[in-house]
A = this chain, B = another copy of it.
Amino acid sequence: MAVIKVEIRSGAYYDSIILMQLQRSLADQPGIIDAGVVMGTNANKEVLAQSGMLVSEAEIAGADDLLIVVHGNDETSAQAALEKVDELVSSRRSHAGEKDYRPHSMETAGKMLPDAQWVLVSVPGRYAAGVARQAISLNKHVFLYSDNVSLEDEISLKQEAAQKGLLVMGPDCGTAIVNGIGLGFANNVRKGPIGIVAASGTGLQQVSVRIHQMGSGITYALGTGGRDLSEAVHAITALQGLDLLARDPDTKVIVLVSKPPSPIVADALVKAARSVGKPVVVNFIGYATASRRVDNIFFATTFDEAAELAIRLINSSDDFNVEPDISKFAPGQQYLRGLFSGGTLQYEALLILQHYLPVVYSNAPLDKRNKLGDSLVSKDHTVIDLGEDEFTVGRLHPMMDNDLRIRRLEKEAADPKVAVILLDVVLGYGAHGDPASELAPAIAASIQKAKDAGRHLEVVAIVCGTDGDPQGMENQIKMLKDSGARIETSNDAAARYVGRLLQAIERSIQPVAKPTMKQVDLEMFKKPLAGINVGLESFADSLTKQGAQVIHVDWKPMAGSNERLVNILERMRKK
């Protein structure tokens, strides 16, 4: 008759690999059907229950207890298997003992390999923060593979590290590739011009793998841990990584990947990415965007698409460092006034402008909070749809009758705070037969008046039409150009141009304070990777296989396994 036997060992520490191997060895013993070797957490006990191995003697095991269960064909086999536990464990241990001398502390390891820039930490979660803190105190970057680390520890570790110009990748950081060497789980990916920062393990792997499969490669792939883009952590590591890749001359394109992020933090990270002067592909899972591109930022929605976009951008001819010339404007000129006849063109312009200007008022805004109190009176940045119902009672649409728009144009142009006027000119059947004949003189006069008053008025006109339209598109464009207006045929290109211009003015008035975070030393970072490994031995083996220098620490929890004490001791040591 089948029998289940249980043994509970309290306070014993074995690493996860030993537990897995012990379970397998037990299951391979004669007369054994199945075996379980786990820490006695509720989740683990449930798993045992599903395999029919959670008998009442096992239920009392606590989360810190090692729980060994064997399911044998009979009493004798089960008992015999259990009695072999120590032998099986020590055979594993002696096997390990055959290797070279191993230090028991990180300090000793650090002395043995002084060039090590990294400490890899994969000890159980409750010990991980303490070990990571020690690594930071030794001025090492930390690859923190361990999960089950608290959010408070994550924040304090990252803040502490950032002040020293060090990275804490993780906790629960599955992967990274630094100078061609994979940390944790990492694929063998070719070197190339793309750098990745990822709050996502397999996201980083899938993007890097795709880049390799498509013939390109990477400089760095920096994991941050899946919670880095949460509101609490606020992307500390991702911002450091972005800054590092921005400064790295070998990185031509940056890819940012994340598990579902906090929208606020995602926005902040994207904002930081706007100023790196390189193309940045953004793929944050579930981060819905209403625009596909904003200047140097390209939004992707799948890993494959992110990789494809990144490769396409390597040889982009766009210069992402160009700052618009705002020297021609007089002091005080800072606002946009958009005078649209087309409602949807106005909406599209607002959609794009929201990436450049904090608030744009309108009589038909995208966000009701930005609705003008009085449609006839502009306020700061304002864009108006003159075709709205309020303006067309007993009056022709502004595509047919330019009167109202010209009156408004003159008024806005006379405002010394106005820098840019944006307007659309829609051609085609049904519209005014020759709009430029009326608009161009008004534009020219407005520009001249501003000039006479010592200002520069920038007028941008979007012309919507075809070569077959009755007004003659070419001639309409010529008249408007001659009036001094800049002509665009793309509404979004016009909105982006205007956005960049006004943003530059805004920045010149209120320069953005640069964060005072200590930067990661790029030169050190680019040296051949060397590391100290604390935890899973297989990660050390993996570094060795890849040709990196590594010292594996023969780590065990401190006496009593009191992780709170370990943490306190560690904090005291730092002071």
Contact = CB atoms under 8 A, between A and B. Distances in A.
A465 B202 contact: no
A41 to B, nearest CB: 5
Contact of A466 (B38, B212, B302): B212
Contact of A344 (B44, B201, B493, B546): B201
Contacts of A545: 429, 470
A342 B205 contact: yes
Given A148-B392, A212-B466, A393-B125, A347 B39 contact: no
Contacts of A289: 288, 301
Contact of A16 (B285, B394, B399, B546): B394
Of A348, A426, A489, which is in contact with the most chain B CB atoms at under 10 Å from its CB? A348
Nearest to A200: B344
Contacts of A366: 260, 285-286
A397 B374 CA distance: 61
Interface string A483-503: 000000111110000000000
Contacts of A285: 290, 344, 347-348, 351, 366
A539 interface: yes
A397 B16 CA distance: 9
Of A38, A39, A429, A493, which is in contact with the most chain B CB atoms at under 10 Å from its CB? A429
Nearest to A198: B344
Contacts of A493: 304
Interface in A187-201: 187-190, 200-201
Contact of A301 (B201, B290, B300, B341): B290
B16 A186 contact: no
Contacts of A288: 288-290
Contact of A188 (B63, B399, B470): B470
Interface stretch (A46-54, A95-103, A154-162, A552-560): A46-54
B16 A395 contact: yes
A259 interface: yes
A515 interface: no
Interface size class on chain A is 35 or more
A257 B345 CA distance: 12
B188 A492 contact: no
Contacts of A465: 187, 209
Of A147, A202, A259, A351, which is in contact with the most chain B CB atoms at under 10 Å from its CB? A202
Contacts of A347: 200, 259-260, 285-286
B202 A342 contact: yes
A396 interface: yes
Interface stretch (A236-244, A400-408, A521-529): A400-408
Contacts of A489: 209, 213
A205 B400 contact: no
A343 interface: yes
B430 A393 contact: no
Nearest to A543: B429
B124 A50 contact: no
A518 interface: no
A45 to B, nearest CB: 11
Contact of A41 (B287, B393, B536): B393
Nearest to A538: B430
A184 interface: yes
A489 B213 CA distance: 10
A107 to B, nearest CB: 26
Interface stretch (A17-25, A109-117, A273-281, A318-326): A17-25
Nearest to A291: B301
Contacts of A189: 466, 468
Contacts of A66: 394
Given A148-B393, A205-B342, A407 B50 contact: yes
B226 A466 contact: no
A139 interface: no
Contact of A393 (B43, B345, B392, B536): B43
A248 B416 CA distance: 55
Interface in A34-83: 38-39, 41, 43-44, 46-47, 50-51, 63, 66
A361 interface: no
B259 A303 contact: no
Given A125-B389, A285-B351, A302-B491, 8 more contacts: A16-B394, A43-B391, A44-B394, A124-B393, A187-B429, A203-B344, A285-B347, A304-B490
Interface of A: 16-17, 19-20, 23, 38-39, 41, 43-44, 46-47, 50-51, 63, 66, 124-125, 147-148, 172, 174-175, 182-190, 200-206, 209-210, 212-213, 226, 257, 259-260, 285-292, 300-305, 341-345, 347-348, 351-352, 366, 374-376, 387, 389-397, 399-401, 403-404, 407, 411, 424, 426-431, 464-466, 468-470, 489-493, 536, 538-539, 542, 545-546
Smallest CB-CB A-B distances: 7 pairs? A202-B342, A39-B394, A188-B468, A288-B288, A203-B344, A200-B344, A187-B428
